[in-house]
Structure 1
Amino acid sequence: MPNPKYAAYAPAAPYFDLVRGALGELVDGDHFFDVLTDETVYEVLYDVPGWPRVINGRADVMAAFRGYVDNITLQSADKLVVHTTDDGSVVVIEYEVHGTILATGVKYDNRFCSIVRIENRKIAHWRDYMDSLAAWNALTARARG
C-alpha cells in the first residue's frame, strides 16, 4: 500500500516508481523521498521557469516536486535503461515520462538521463539532463480548444 504521507505527490507516481525500481537494492527506503537525505544535492542542468538548478536536501526536493505535481500529471514512465558503475555507487538511468500539463491539457512527453551517486545506501547527488525543447513546447503550447 502506498505511504499516505506521499499522497499529494501521486501525480508523479510513475516517475517515483520507475526511479525507485531502477535503484533497486542499492538504496534503502520504499519511496523515492525515502532514499534522499538532508544532505542530498539534486541538480538539474537545464532551465525551467520555477524549478531551481540546484536543490539541497530532502525537504527542498519535496517542495520542488510539490510544485511539479501542481502543474503536471504523469500517466506513465518507461523506456528505462540502467547503467551501474563503480560497484553500484554510481547509477546512470535513462527513461521517458508521459503526462499532461494541467493548465492547458497539452500532452507532455520527455526524455531524461540522470546520474545518481549513492553513499550509505541513500542518494547523495542527483544530476539530471532532459530534452529541454520537449519541456518548452509542452509548457508554452496553447490550451486545447
Structure 2
Amino acid sequence: MFRRGLRMLLDKDIPAWVGLWDEQGVLEFPFAPDGWPKRLEGKAAVADYMRHYPDHIDLREFPDVKIHRTDAPGTIVVEMRGIGRVVESGKPFDMTYIAVVTVSGGLITHYRDYWNPLAVSQDNAIDFTRSDR
C-alpha cells in the first residue's frame, strides 16, 4: 500500500493518495518550521494540506525506499528519498525522509513525517513564508 501511495504522488494524483487515509487519520511533522502545521487531524485536513503540493514540488522519483516492519501491528518505518524539482524556482529537489506509518483496516491512521525543512530552506528552494503552501 505504501509503495502504491508513492506512485500516486509521482502521478500527482493527490485525491487518490488522500483516498488511502482513514477519516480520522493524523499526519504529523515533528520538524515543521515555524508557521507550518505540526499536526493535521482528519482526512479533510490532510486533503487541504496536500491539495497544492504538485504546484510546489514536482516529484519525479523515489529511488531509495526501504520499508522496515515493526512489532507494532500495522506499523512500518520507511526510509526514502524523493527527487524532483521545485516548481517556482526550477531548482532541484532532493530530500531524504523517515516516516512512521500506521495502517488499520487498509487505511492510513497515523503518519509521522520526519523530513528536514532546513535542507530545503538553506537552498532557498521553497519559500516557507508563503501562506499558499
RMSD: 2.5
Quote the offset at 1:141 in angstroms: 4.4
Confirm or deny: 8 A CA contact 1:15 1:76 kept in the other structure: no
Q: 2:40 maps to what in 1?
A: 55
Alpha-carbon distance in 2 for matches of 1:141, 1:110: 12
Aligned length: 117
Output the TM-score relative to the length of structure 2. Answer: 0.75
TM-score norm. by structure 1 comes to 0.69
Tell me how far apart the structure 1 counterparts of residues 8 and 52 of structure 2 sit (CA, whole Å).
20
Q: Give the structure 2 partner of residue 134 of structure 1.
A: 119
- Give the superposition deviation at 1:51: 3.9
Segments of structure 2 that go 5 or more residues without pairing to the other structure are 10-15, 127-133
Please give the secondary structure, in 2, of the residue aligned with 1:104: coil
Moved beyond 6 Å, runs of 4+: none
1:4 counterpart residue number: none
More strand by share: 2
The residue that corresponds to 2:86 in the other structure is 101
Percent sequence identity over matched residues? 26
Partner residue of 1:121?
106
C-alpha deviation, 1:49, in angstroms: 6.4
Give the aligned partner of residue 10 of structure 1: none
Aligned to 2:101, what secondary structure does the other structure show?
A: strand
**1:17 correspondence with 2:17:** no
CA contact 1:15–1:77 (8 Å) conserved in 2: no
More deviation, 48-57/92-101: 48-57
Kindly state the Cα deviation for residue 114 of structure 1 after the two structures are TM-superposed: 0.3
Q: Aligned equivalents of 1:32 and 1:87: distance in 2? A: 23
Structure (1 or 2) with the larger CA radius of gyration: 1
Task: Give the number of the structure whose residues are more often helix, by fraction.
Answer: 1
Amino acid of the residue matched to residue 70 of structure 1?
Answer: D
Structure 1 residues 104-132: Cα deviation after superposition (integer angstroms, max 9, x where no partner): 11111100000011222211111010133
Q: Which runs of 5+ in 1 are unaligned?
A: 1-13, 20-30
Q: Is the 8 A contact 2:40 2:46 kept in 1?
A: yes
